[in-house]
Copies of this chain bind each other. A is one copy, B any other.
């Protein structure tokens, strides 16, 4: 029995994202923005805000899962570049963005935040994307 509070996803992430799967450390979410294939990895640990708040063991797990998600997206979508970032200025729960980028995407070569309005997926496109990501991550 532990006194640590249970992990609960922050309401901002609950609102803006769709669950893909749980890995050993992270809950993997898809940002509901069809402009870019964009995963959000949330370590299932309570009360963590910054990367350096994780233990060294959890940092290694997080690296492994960032790599697994990046390679899944490289394999599925063939992007020109991957972007990886832990910002969290607005949402105070540690989360890592892993985003596939193209030289033809609407924010290139800048970072994606604040460039173009979020474009929610159409239902079928969302189901397809979740299915292919879940398939790639669960078998990786």
Contacts and interface: CB of A to CB of B under 8 A. Distances in A.
Contact of A110 (B51, B67, B114): B114
Given A50-B82, A82-B50, A89 B66 contact: no
A90 B59 CA distance: 27
A32 B11 CA distance: 37
Given A81-B88, A87-B85, A67 B52 contact: yes
A64 B56 contact: yes
Contact of A108 (B85, B89, B113): B89
Interface string A106-132: 001111011000000000000000000
B63 A50 contact: no
Contacts of A46: none
B113 A81 contact: no
Contact of A56 (B63, B70, B111): B63
Interface residues of A, number: 32
Contact of A81 (B49, B70, B71, B101): B49
- Grouping DSSP codes into helix (H, G, I), strand (E, B) and loop, the A interface class, with mixed when no group exceeds half, is mixed
Contacts of A64: 56
Contact of A90 (B51, B63, B109): B109
A87 B67 contact: no
B83 A70 contact: no
Given A51-B84, A59-B67, A66-B52, A111 B111 contact: yes
